[in-house]
Structure 1
Amino acid sequence: MASILVLAGAADLPKEGPLPLSRPAPQAADETTPPPAEVMPEKEPAEDAKEKEEAEKAKERPHEDDKAEAACRAALAQAGATFEEAKVVDDGKACGIDKPVLLKGLAGGVTVEPEATIRCETALQLARWMDGSVKPALEAAMPGETITGLSQASAYVCRNRNGATEGKISEHAFGNAIDLAGFTLKSGKAVTIRPADKDSTLEGAFQRAITEAACLYFTTVLDPGSDAAHQNHLHLDVKERRGGYRYCW
């Protein structure tokens, strides 16, 4: 049987050209998700060569500058963090940290459980975020409570993004990332990271507030609403991007 298509408001349709296609459903976000694409002019050969060169560099782990690392360690100590110098991590061309730190605690007696092997810059931004945003948000949500412990789910590990068997190297493989599973409070209460977009409690508001604030310190912030791989933690990393772009999901 022939089908009949009824068009409402046909006068409003363009006189020429095909009807617009429906927009595809959005894909799940992860560490690899790029910013929204824009229509760009055709690249010049020099631009293609530059992109290929950057892609090759991305396969190698970053190498730290001595002066920058010394300044970072001074700032980390001033922020009240407890840390030690860690041995060079060398897991091949793509994975490792030249000058890692072993982060043991943060200002105010906050322990990092377990201790985290990461780059100094990652530790410094974590310390700044805790003092600048997490602690004030907790005081507003739960007056009288303080954080005694930070539970991290993943620091340095040599793997691909989201644990995939193929694809790009994770920022964890460079020491640029840390996954936060939750906090321990002075009362003994545990605050765990979980899907909280529709949680109307003060604890839910606390999680949303610190997640939004995290993008003031980190260049990538992925929460339980981003995809299935981040349902129980916040992924925080300091990946450098062109133009200072930040990815907050």
Structure 2
Amino acid sequence: MTVRSVITLLILAALAYGGWQAVEHAEREYPEHLPWTPLSLDDPVGRATELKIANLAGDRPACLALFEESSLEVTPLEEQQFTPNCALVEPVALERMTAAYSPGTVRLSCPLAASLAVWERQVVQPAARRLLGTGVERIEHLGTYSCRRLYGRSSGGWSKHATAEAIDIAGFRLEDGRSVSLLGDWGSEGPEGAFLRVIRNRGCDVFGTLLGPDYNAAHRDHFHLQAAGFGTCR
């Protein structure tokens, strides 16, 4: 059982002990921590955020409704099956949310877009303003869809990139013109390094899988982000 699961059980036990008034108060004041309350892209990151986003998989209408209720926009795309293992699953297109994406328009799964929306609004932009003194204007990525197995091997499991359910983030362009990159700034003692550590650590409560330079050499220059996964965050 994960730490997050234990915390959820403790919350449920406390609510049960406190009665319906405690439940109603928690639903009103702390919905982000309760797994049964609806997900909102405007809510702070809570103990139940990752689970709620993971539950969007297979429920395209619910995922799209999140964006309809938000100021952020995505464009629904038709699902496409290219090979038995490679497809665009529940795809949407986005050009920008709180920041633009480069290169170009991004095609990715709707739950992953929801994860990015929460991460940008609740983690990335606040951390940039607090630690770097300005917001993020552009997010640099290395792609989403790629019909390949894990690490490009000729055998073995298939990457989540094969279904556009993962994105690799390489760096950030700030509103004042500065750049922050995983390759150049990860591990540094300055504010850029602190910014990257914070958005990685807080991202663990948003994404089901988040892999970066501390995971292995293959991720030395990017964060690999998935909406679904087994809570791997390194």
Q: SS of the counterpart of 2:84?
A: coil
Equivalent residue pairs, number: 178
Q: CA deviation at 1:71?
A: 1.4
1:121 equivalent in structure 2:
111
Q: CA deviation at 1:202?
A: 0.9
Whole-angstrom CA distance in 1 between matches of 2:93 and 2:121: 19
Q: TM-score if structure 1 supplies the norm length?
A: 0.67
2:231 equivalent in structure 1:
246
Whole-angstrom CA distance in 1 between matches of 2:224 and 2:175: 24
Q: CA deviation at 1:177?
A: 0.6
Is the 8 Å Cα contact of residues 79 and 127 (structure 1) preserved in structure 2? Answer: no
1:75 equivalent in structure 2:
66
Is 2:142 the partner of 1:157?
no
Whole-angstrom CA distance in 1 between matches of 2:147 and 2:68: 27
More helix by share: 2
Find 2:158's aligned residue among 133, 148, 169. 169
Whole-angstrom CA distance in 2 between matches of 1:98 and 1:72: 13
Q: CA deviation at 1:196?
A: 5.3
Find 1:102's aligned residue among 87, 93, 100. 93
Find 1:84's aligned residue among 63, 75, 100. 75
Letter in 2 for 1:152: H
1:217 equivalent in structure 2:
206
Whole-angstrom CA distance in 1 between matches of 2:136 and 2:94: 17
Is the 8 Å Cα contact of residues 76 and 120 (structure 1) preserved in structure 2? Answer: no
Residues 66-108 of structure 1: CA deviation (Å, up to 9, x unaligned)? xx2111112134343332122322112111124310121113x
Is the 8 Å Cα contact of residues 178 and 235 (structure 1) preserved in structure 2? Answer: yes
Provide the identity percentage.
29
Aligned-residue RMSD, C-alpha: 1.9
Is 2:108 the partner of 1:134?
no
Q: SS of the counterpart of 1:105?
A: coil
The gaps in structure 1 that reach 5 residues or longer are 1-34, 36-63
Find 1:202's aligned residue among 172, 191, 194. 191
Whole-angstrom CA distance in 1 between matches of 2:166 and 2:188: 27
Letter in 2 for 1:189: R
Q: TM-score if structure 2 supplies the norm length?
A: 0.71
Deviates more, 1:74-83 or 1:181-190: 74-83
Whole-angstrom CA distance in 1 between matches of 2:186 and 2:144: 25
Whole-angstrom CA distance in 2 between matches of 1:150 and 1:197: 16
Residues 160-191 of structure 1: CA deviation (Å, up to 9, x unaligned)? 11222221100111221111011111111111
2:181 equivalent in structure 1:
192
Whole-angstrom CA distance in 1 between matches of 2:128 and 2:69: 23
Q: SS of the counterpart of 2:207?
A: coil
